[in-house]
Structures are given as C-alpha cells and as structure tokens.
Amino acid sequence: MGSIFGHLFRVSTFGESHGGEVGAIVEGCPPRLEISEADIQVELDRRKPGQSRITTPRKEADEVRITSGVFEGKTLGTPIHLVVTNKDARGQDYQEMKTTYRPSHADYTYQAKYGIRNWQGGGRASARETIGRVAAGAIAKKYLRQFYGVEILAYVRQVWHLEAAIDPNQVTLEAIESNIVRCPDPQKAEEMIALVEKMRDEGDSLGGVVECVCRKVPVGLGDPVFDKLEADLAKGMMSLPASKGFEIGSGFAGVLLTGSEHNDPYTFDEQGRVHTESNRSGGIQGGISNGEPILFRVAFKPTATIRKEQKTVTVDGQEALLAAKGRHDPCVLPRAVPMVEAMAAIILMDHTLRQQALSPR
C-alpha cells in the first residue's frame, strides 16, 4: 500500500476515513527530544475538520494520544505510536458510493487494483489519512527548530484565479493564521473567502496553490542523483491528497529566462559565508541544499466531491448520474497548509539524520 515514507526518519500511517482510528508510527526519532501531546495537538488543530465556515462541517476533535516511544516527556529513540480516534464517522452517508464510482476519486482505481475497497468516504484515499503525517511532522518540526533553528511556513498563495502578493522572506506564522483561508495577504484573503463561500453555495469547489518556505535549512542536505532533496520534496508533496503539481524556485517560469538571467550569483554574507544574491534555485542546487531558503509550490485540484450532478457509472456497468453526499471541503487549501508543512518537515528531518550519519564525529 506504500504507507511507509523515509529512510532514517520513517513514518508509517494507518487507518481509514470512517474506521475506528487513524494515526502514525514514527521510527528513527533521536532520543531525549522533549515532546508532548500538546506539541502535536497544535498542528492537528490546524488540520482538523470543522474549524471554519469554509471547511468540511465534520466535527472531530482529533485529539492525539502517544502510546509508546515517549517516557517522562522525552523520546526514547524507540518507535513512537500516535493515534487519533474517529468520533464523528458517518459511513452511512456514503451508501450510494457502494455501487457508484465518484468522478475523479480513487473508487474505480482502488476497485480495479485490489478487487475490494472501503467505500465509506474513500478509506485510505481520504485526506483523513494525513492526520498521521501531520502528527509525525510535528515531531520533526520541533527537532529541526530546536537543534537547527529551521522554520517551515506554508500558506495559500492562490485560490482559482485569485493570486496573492506575498514576500516569502517576510511572511510570518501570525499573518498566515490571521484568517481562515491561511493567506497572509489580508485583502486577497477576504476575496478568496468570499469566492470559496460562493462556490460552496453553488455546490461546486475550487483548487489553488500552497507555497512553502523553509528557512535556515543547513547546507548539504540531499544527495546528487536519485535522492535529490527537491526530488524527495516532489514525491512527498505529490503524495498528498488532491495534489496535482510541484515546482521549486523559479519553477516553470524559469523557462522564460536566459542562463545569465536565471543563474544565482555567489557572494559572501556579513559573516563571510557563501551566499547567493538571488534564489531562483529555490535553495537547492545539484540536489543539495545551499543554505538559502527552500521555496516551493504545490498545486491542489478542486475538491472532487461536489453536490452538482455528474455523469458516472456503477460497479455493474450501468451509466448513472451522481450528486455526491457527505461532508467535504469546498476548497482543500486552508487545511492543506499544515499538511504541506508536515511533509516538508518529515523530508528535511530524514535528510538531516542522513547527513549526520555522513559527518565525522
């Protein structure tokens, strides 16, 4: 099922959308890191449903329990088990999906691959699986912040045709969390919220772009061939539900520049360290972090489950029309923000530990 991610910092997620529990097992976290359920809950609260009028109305506290790997408030170096109980599951809302494939969902492909599927909310294909990622990412974020000063901030840059003007070098967590769409441009945020509400009332949905900046990342993370840091970031981000595109640094816009325009000139900073005057590389060169902020963007499609009637087929080969029921986000972007941060933290944590293994003691 491909439910394990990472090499030295390994995250295994488990659970289905309307099953009993969801969560993660984290292996490879160094011992003696101070961590608590409260540290993890902060991130899960940013991801949980029902947090605003533009998210799914499903009511879940998503309260995390640490059942192993932590003793007297510190990690033991052994596997950490993180679990969240589903309390507002309503599998009966999806009865129609038992026999009818939802357009652009994993219903048909799961059935074709395994010959069986959990039709209650999509099972493992549900975004509820990301609870485990966000919980594991909270541990990684705390380690990276405490020992390296790394700061990871994601935010909504674009919803449909509305794009915000944001300086990644100046953005703050406070500005991101100041509104329910998690866009640090206040004026554009209000426009985005109004647009999402309008589309929700029409029974439709919207997609957009989440941008992420990772500051103070150590130089040297990543490998130069198959395990390039941006390649692992791309894999991690593209494994998130509803993600459809990834670009780093100048991205696709870089094709409009010449080599002389696109190259990042080297210089020295005030401390005499190597520094680039621009950052069109997005903080990674040759697959290895160069010490500049890592900047990337993830495109998310419009939520596939909508109330508008759509053409589809049934499991027994009949054409059908489906107006989906259940509780769904009209736009996944606000809740995707902590998911993107979590995956970035997991990947940077894994590569940090791999780099430590190479360093002479």
For residue range 8-50, list pLDDT tens digits in order. 999 999 999 888 899 999 999 999 999 999 999 999 999 998 8
Please determine, for residue 129, whether its predicted confidence score (pLDDT) is greater than 80: yes
Chain Cα centroid distance, residue 198 = 25
User: Can you give the pLDDT at residue 57?
Assistant: 83
Q: Give Cα separations from 336 to 46, 212, 240, 268 (angstroms).
A: 9, 11, 9, 36
Instruction: Report the range of poorest mean pLDDT among 68-82, 281-295, 301-315.
Output: 301-315
- Transcribe 262-315 into DSSP letters: HS--EEE-TTS-EEES--TTTTEETTEE-SSPEEEEEEEPPPS--SS-EEEEBT
Tokens of 99: 């026999």
- Cα–Cα distance between 311 and 316 in angstroms, integer? 15
| Pure H helices in the chain | 37-47, 107-114, 130-148, 173-176, 186-201, 229-238, 259-262, 333-358
For residue range 74-88, list pLDDT tens digits in order. 999 999 999 999 987
Angle formed at CA 240 by CA 119 and CA 90, multiple of 5 degrees: 30
Based on the structure, what is the number of domains in the chain? 1
Please determine, for residue 125, whether its predicted confidence score (pLDDT) is greater than 80: yes
Closest of 270, 195, 74, 290 to residue 278, by C-alpha: 290
Its domain, for residue 311, covers 4-358
3-state SS class at 53: coil
Share of the chain above pLDDT 70, in %: 97
User: Can you give the pLDDT at residue 359?
Assistant: 77
- Cα–Cα distance between 153 and 233 in angstroms, integer? 15
Phi/psi at 40 (nearest 5 deg)? -75, -35
Instruction: Report the range of poorest mean pLDDT among 4-8, 104-108, 229-233, 263-267.
Output: 104-108
Pairing of strands 208-215, 151-159: antiparallel
User: What average pLDDT score do residues 261-279 get?
Assistant: 95
| DSSP conformation class of 237 | H
User: Can you give the pLDDT at residue 221?
Assistant: 98
For residue range 201-256, list pLDDT tens digits in order. 999 999 999 999 999 999 999 999 999 999 999 999 999 999 999 999 999 999 99
Which of 237 and 98 is assigned the larger pLDDT?
237
- The CATH number linked to 236 is 3.60.150.10
Query: Which residues are 71's β-sheet partners?
Result: 74
Please determine, for residue 292, whether its predicted confidence score (pLDDT) is greater than 70: yes
User: Can you give the pLDDT at residue 121?
Assistant: 79
Please determine, for residue 94, whether its predicted confidence score (pLDDT) is greater than 80: no
Tokens 């697959």, located at residue = 287
Tally the residues of the chain: 361
User: Can you give the pLDDT at residue 179?
Assistant: 97
Tokens of 61: 């506290």
User: Can you give the pLDDT at residue 323?
Assistant: 84
Tokens of 337: 């923000």
User: Can you give the pLDDT at residue 326?
Assistant: 63
User: What average pLDDT score do residues 129-146 get?
Assistant: 98
Tokens of 235: 């894999």
Pairing of strands 74-75, 151-159: unpaired
Tokens of 157: 């840059």
Closest of 168, 255, 178, 268 to residue 209, by C-alpha: 168
> What is the residue-averaged pLDDT of the chain?
94
